[in-house]
Each structure stands twice: as structure tokens, then as C-alpha cells.
Structure 1
Amino acid sequence: MLLYEHNAVNENDLTIEHSKSRPRDEDAHAGLAERIRTLRQAQGMSQVDLAAKAGFARSTLSKIEKGQLSPTFELLLKLARGLQIELAALVQPERHPLVGRLHVERRMSGVALDYPNHRFYALASQLQGRHFQAAVVDFIEADLAAFGPMNRHESEDMLFVLSGRLAFHSEGYTPITLDVGDSLFFDGTMGHACLSASQTEPCQCLYVYAAL
């Protein structure tokens, strides 16, 4: 059974069973679990070592590596810092390194990761050493009450609406609705929730972020 982890203070309250009726890519999450374990072992770290560096419980890491728990974006950032690699190296299979700085990716051919509130497609993950990362995200949830705890992660973020309408909720600001062609820059450490403003269709955004 695949569980999803939500961002909250108490890790014991973070795991919930995925109950929404939308498709999941079990193979993608299994591949993610294997990459995390392989990268950790390649650096000679135990689960205790990596969990300490990443800043969360060893039991959480154990569940992630067994494929029993799907890490949120916040946990992926922490794992990348603990492993001292870029986030894209976690979410994409290893490929041959590119020579030069040109990369074409057609039709979002990379691995897609499904979460209760969104689907995440990493872009150009083969390009290493970047100061920013990019992804296309489908925001599926439209009900703030069903979203769960607001997200927080140590990054500077930008969203550009590609299709649908985005409802952006955050701490200290009134809710904002963005249409196609609108963009938003914000501090990822501020509590925030990205939702579709429509009950019938998702909102797709280009997401660009830089870890702090």
C-alpha cells in the first residue's frame, strides 16, 4: 500500500492513505525509492545518517525506501540536501551526462509523480549544476478544506499558469486567482496552498524554483 506524506510538524500525523479516485504511477514511486536507497548507499550512509542530515525521522526514510511512503516536495528537498545532490537527480532515472548546456524535452517525457493534490513532472533533469529547477505541475484539488496542511519548503518559487485557473492561498495574504498567462512569485517558506479554481478541471502551471 502506497502512503502519502503531508507537511506538518508532527511526523506521526503526516501519513495518510491515498483515497482520491485518480491514477497513480506505482512504478515511478518504486523507482524513486530505489534511487534514494542507491544514492544513500553509494555515499556510505546509513538510514540514520541520511535522516539526520535531511532533518526527519529514520522511520520515515525507511518507509520511503521501501516504497510504502511517497515523499512530499518538502521531503524531497530535504533528501536532496542530505545527499548533497540536486532535486532532479532524485525524481528522474540516471541517464548519460550531456555535453554542453542544451537540452530538448518533448511532451513532458520525464517521470511523473502523483500526489493527492497534484501531479509533478520534472523538466530537463539531466542538466546538472543549475541555479534553479523547473517542472510542470497539474494542481488537481479544488477544495481548501480537503487540501490538508499548507506547504512550506526552503525555496524561492514562481508559477506561470498554462491552462485552467489557479487559486493560490497563503499566510498573510488574501486568496489570489490567476488565469492563463498570469504568473506569481513567492517565498516557499511561507505557508501556501495551490489549488485548481475549477471543480471540473485541473490547473496546469510551469513551476520554477531555486533552493535557498
Structure 2
Amino acid sequence: MNKDKPQLGSIIRNLRSERGWTLKQMSEAVDITMSTLSKIERGQLTLSYDKLQQVSDSLGISLSDLFAPNRNWVAADAPVTGRRAIDTLEKALRVNTNNGDIFYLCTELRQKQMVPLVCQVKARNLDEFGPLSHHRGEEFVYVLEGSVNVVTEFYSDFILNQGECMYFDSSMAHAYLIAPGFETASILSVGMSDRAQV
């Protein structure tokens, strides 16, 4: 992991500082307890994708802008042309959660329509995963390694093997688990928001 990339705790602390907020004010703004926010800022806790989306929505910024190292705010309707980003897992912003190690890619680009990430899946069952994930927009997932058991609220569980993919409405609750018989699994996921600025 690249030490030059900011960690989630420092991102949250810097956002709070930029706004001149106390921990209590930030807690009220994003609807996360003060003790949880304090642990996040100290690097003792992380947030799931859903909770990160909640924070960005509450603060009125896109998820891609939440991770941007340089947050010189740009108008939402400003034209975005001729840009690119090149990244690697070693340089990605890494967030460790109970259900996977998530590597957010190309975080320096702001006003992205998509949020690309690689997840090294950890959970083998729903007890380890916790509550199913759901967030606005749509999601594409491609299995890079191993196989994943995909659990959703509307369909029967099914296995996606290496090289297979799916596209779905991510407001449908879902989870990715390491499939039985596999030691590891990793996926490439690209989320797209129903708003134009993620």
C-alpha cells in the first residue's frame, strides 16, 4: 500500500477540519455517533461502502470527491473533458472492512460518473459479512480470482466464477462471499450513481 495515499481516518478528519466542525457537529451532520467517528479518525474503525455513501450524501459531495486528495470544489455542472487516471492496487486508497479489503481506484479524479474498486473478499457467510449492502445506482462486478457466492434480497444465491460478471441495480441488497471450496476471491466492482456526480 502506498503510504502517500491518505487513509480514511485522515480523510474524515480533514473534511471535518475544512468545515471548522467539532466532532459533535460532524456526528450530527453525517448521522454517525461521535465515538464511532472518533475511532474512524484514529484509524481504529473503517466504514462500509454504504456508510461512505451516507457520509458523502450527508455532506453534499460525491463519493469520488470524498476520496479526492485535492478537494478544490468545482461546480457540479462544470464541463469535464480530456482527463484520465492511471492507478495500481499498491497506490489505491485501501479501506479494510469485515467483509473485504477494498481498494478504491483513481481517486484523484473528481466528478466521476463511476466508482471503480477491487475487493479482496473476506467473508464466507452472512454472519461474517453482516447486513447486506445496498446503495443507490447500479453496479457491475467481475470476478478476478476464485469464485464468489452472490447473495441478494430478490434472487436465489448463486456462484460467479473467475471470468464471470454481472450487472445489477445496487439498491437491491447484496453480499459477496467467498464460495465454498475456495480460499480466496477478489472482484472488480464499478458502481454508477443515479446522480451524475459520483
TM range (shorter): 0.7 to 0.9
- The answer to whether the aligner puts 1:205 opposite 2:154 as a matched pair is no
Question: Corresponding residue for 1:53?
Answer: 29
Alpha-carbon shift at residue 127 of structure 1 (Å): 1.0
Question: Corresponding residue for 2:78?
Answer: none
Question: Corresponding residue for 1:15?
Answer: none
- Aligned amino acid, residue 49 of structure 2: F
User: Partners of 1:189 and 1:91 in 2: how far apart?
Assistant: 22
**Cα deviation per residue 1:14-62 (whole Å; 9 max; x = unaligned)?**
xxxxxxxxxxx8x899832122111122123333333333233333323
Structure 1 stretch 104-113 or stretch 119-128: which is displaced more? 104-113
Q: How does 1:115-134 map to 2 (within 5 A)?
A: 115-134=97-116
User: Which among 74, 80, 95 is matched to residue 50 of structure 2?
Assistant: 74
User: Partners of 1:76 and 1:28 in 2: how far apart?
Assistant: 21
User: Which among 81, 84, 87 is matched to residue 60 of structure 2?
Assistant: 84
Question: Corresponding residue for 1:35?
Answer: 11
User: Partners of 1:167 and 1:204 in 2: how far apart?
Assistant: 12
TM-score (norm 1): 0.74
Unaligned 5+ segments in structure 1 are: 1-24
User: Partners of 2:150 and 2:90 in 1: how far apart?
Assistant: 24
- The answer to whether the aligner puts 1:44 opposite 2:20 as a matched pair is yes
Question: Corresponding residue for 2:94?
Answer: 112
- Aligned amino acid, residue 192 of structure 2: A
Is the 1:141–1:202 contact (alpha carbons within 8 Å) kept by the matching residues of 2? no
Is the 1:157–1:185 contact (alpha carbons within 8 Å) kept by the matching residues of 2? yes
User: Partners of 1:29 and 1:109 in 2: how far apart?
Assistant: 7
- Aligned amino acid, residue 62 of structure 1: S
Is the 1:39–1:83 contact (alpha carbons within 8 Å) kept by the matching residues of 2? no
Question: Corresponding residue for 1:7?
Answer: none
- Aligned amino acid, residue 158 of structure 1: F
Unaligned 5+ segments in structure 2 are: 73-80
Partner SS state of residue 163, structure 2:
coil
Q: Percent identity?
A: 27
User: Partners of 1:38 and 1:77 in 2: how far apart?
Assistant: 17
Partner SS state of residue 135, structure 2:
coil
Q: How does 1:178-189 map to 2 (within 5 A)?
A: 178-189=160-171
Instruction: Classify 1:118/1:203 alpha carbon distance in 2 versus 1 (closer, same or farther; 3 Å).
Output: same
Partner SS state of residue 142, structure 1:
coil
Alpha-carbon shift at residue 95 of structure 1 (Å): 5.6
Question: Corresponding residue for 1:196?
Answer: 178
**Cα deviation per residue 1:52-76 (whole Å; 9 max; x = unaligned)?**
3323333332332233322222111
Is the 2:7–2:94 contact (alpha carbons within 8 Å) kept by the matching residues of 1? no
Alpha-carbon shift at residue 79 of structure 1 (Å): 1.5
- The answer to whether the aligner puts 1:153 opposite 2:129 as a matched pair is no
Question: Corresponding residue for 1:163?
Answer: 145
Alpha-carbon shift at residue 89 of structure 1 (Å): 4.4
Alpha-carbon shift at residue 85 of structure 1 (Å): 2.9
TM-score (norm 2): 0.78
User: Partners of 2:87 and 2:53 in 1: how far apart?
Assistant: 23
